[in-house]
Amino acid sequence: MQIGHLHVENFRSYGAIDIDLRQFNVVLGQNASGKSSFIDVLRFLRDIPRNGLDNAISMQGGAGFLRNLCTEKVEPLRIRVSLHDHYIAPLESVKEGRRQVARSLQGDELVYDFQVRFNQRGDGYRVLRDELTFHCCIHTSRRVERKWVERSEPGTEGRLVVHLNGRTMASQFVADSGEGVLSPDDLLGYPYVERVFGAPGVRRPLLLELPFLPFVFSETVGWGLRDIAVYDFDPKLPKRAVPVTGRRQLEEDGSNLAIVLQGILKDRAAHKRFLNLVKYLLPFVVDMNVERVAGRSFLLRLRETFVEHADIPATFLSDGTITVLALVVAIAFESRPIVVLEEPERNVHPSLMSKILGLVREAASDKQIILTTHNPEVVRHVDFGDVLLTSRGSDGLSRIGRPADDNEVRVLVDSEIGLDEVFVNDLWSQS
């Protein structure tokens, strides 16, 4: 899954965000320009399916800090996000004579549109919009001589719109052929009203909060968004022994690195691949292992060329070494579809950034990666078109855009000033 277009209105310091995300994105910005607020949009989208809307708002500091802070008037918060993948929505499976025929909706884009109005005071709110649109085509599969033959039905391109109307989930297929609006009853043989949610007096869930939409997808759009990872490593945490009862998926602060590495190092192929990547970045590393301490904890130990007669416990490793190990795991071994790396250059020598960014670009072929940084050394090693630049105007509102689309900035970069100089001197804000 990949985020395509992101449209946001009235979120923290942003009046509006209207941006297309690529497979690899590098977010730059001066202090207080809106870089963190942009990442918080992704956190908010992740937290709604993980924890529910009420908790997602609370985790952002409540409505008072989530809504636009630069105006006294409370405008609705809106997030519209397009998600790209190959989606299949089963419709029906019937027999035509001796042949089995299955019909489904298939497409490569889902669009989720959510809008909420906050009360003037307090954390109260009202959901104004909650809609999922599936851009798709009807496909028919027939079993012929023990093989399934699939084709799209001519003239069936359109969009399936799903929304919660009061406490009722409804869906409608809108054809692109100019024949008007067709309900699933007319075209698909599927009921228009699907399910009733909740009891009187209880807030109905958002589409993002539902565990499944049985008539549309085997899993909802929320299941993809909930796997967004926002890594912000604290190298002090992985140096400690970690209880054996922790998760095998890397925590976003890196605290359970020893547990994750214990699983990687047990697999011979994964061990070899991980060690090769680490040696590529840190040539002094010979090997590593994870020690079980008192039967209750795991502690990472590393062997260096400088001290080959003993393994060094994680407690005595440098912050930079720990950060590199965590980055390699996050970049090359975690299966999250969307990964955010917050300032990965912290504690890492500038000479390594070119190699690290090479690994990131390679990994971006399988997952969408968003990297934030303040470091000009990082900027020197990224493509101009992958950069997103944040700034803040005199009205207090943040903006984010691609400097590659700004003719004046392109002239500056083409004149050999360099993107790093544009960033360091904040020339985009002045253009």
At 127, the amino acid letter reads: V
Residue 186's pLDDT is 43
User: In this predicted model, which residue has the larger pLDDT, 401 or 145?
Assistant: 401
User: In this predicted model, which residue has the larger pLDDT, 358 or 374?
Assistant: 358
Q: Are residues 10 and 109 in the same domain?
A: yes
* Position 326 pLDDT exceeds 90: yes
Give me the count of residues in the chain: 431
Residue 419 belongs to some domain of the structure: no
Q: By residue range, what is the domain housing residue 117?
A: 2-225
Residue 187's pLDDT is 45
Boundary-marking domain end, from 345, 362, 382? 382
**What average pLDDT does range 136-143 have in this prediction?**
80
**What average pLDDT does range 317-341 have in this prediction?**
95
The pTM of the full predicted model, rounded to 2 decimals, is 0.85
Q: Are residues 42 and 158 in the same domain?
A: yes
Q: Are residues 18 and 140 in the same domain?
A: yes
**What average pLDDT does range 22-36 have in this prediction?**
90
Residue 73's pLDDT is 76
User: Which range has the worst mean pLDDT, 197-206, 297-306, 415-424?
Assistant: 415-424
* Position 149 pLDDT exceeds 90: no
Residue 203's pLDDT is 66
**What average pLDDT does range 344-371 have in this prediction?**
92
Burial class (CB within 10 angstroms; exposed 0-12, middle 13-18, buried 19+) of 138: buried
Residue 240 belongs to some domain of the structure: yes
- Which 8-state DSSP code applies to residue 147? E
* Position 409 pLDDT exceeds 90: no
Structure confidence at residue 91 as a pLDDT band (50, 70, 90): confident
Q: Are residues 202 and 283 in the same domain?
A: no
Residue 163's pLDDT is 76
Q: Are residues 264 and 243 in the same domain?
A: yes
Task: Report how many domains make up the chain.
Answer: 2
Residue 410 belongs to some domain of the structure: no
Cβ atoms of 405 and 387 within 8 Å: the answer is: no
- DSSP per-residue letters across 340-377: EEE-TTTTS-GGGHHHHHHHHHHHTTTSEEEEEE--HH
Question: Which residues make Cβ contacts (< 8 Å) with residue 313, sequence separation at least 6?
Answer: 291, 299, 300, 301
Question: Which residues make Cβ contacts (< 8 Å) with residue 369, sequence separation at least 6?
Answer: 23, 24, 25, 331, 338, 339, 340, 341, 360, 363
Residue 192's pLDDT is 37
Q: Are residues 263 and 184 in the same domain?
A: no
Q: What is the pLDDT of residues 239-294, one digit of tens each?
A: 999 998 888 999 999 999 999 999 999 999 999 999 999 999 999 999 999 998 87
Residue 410's pLDDT is 60
Residue 418's pLDDT is 55
Boundary-marking domain end, from 201, 225, 249? 225
Torsional class of 290: left (φ above 0), alpha (ψ -120 to 50), beta (otherwise): beta
Cite the beta strand spans of 97-192 per DSSP E: 99-118, 125-144, 147-152, 158-165, 168-175, 181-182
Residue 430's pLDDT is 44
- Collapsing DSSP to helix, strand or coil, 172 comes out as strand
User: In this predicted model, which residue has the larger pLDDT, 281 or 422?
Assistant: 281
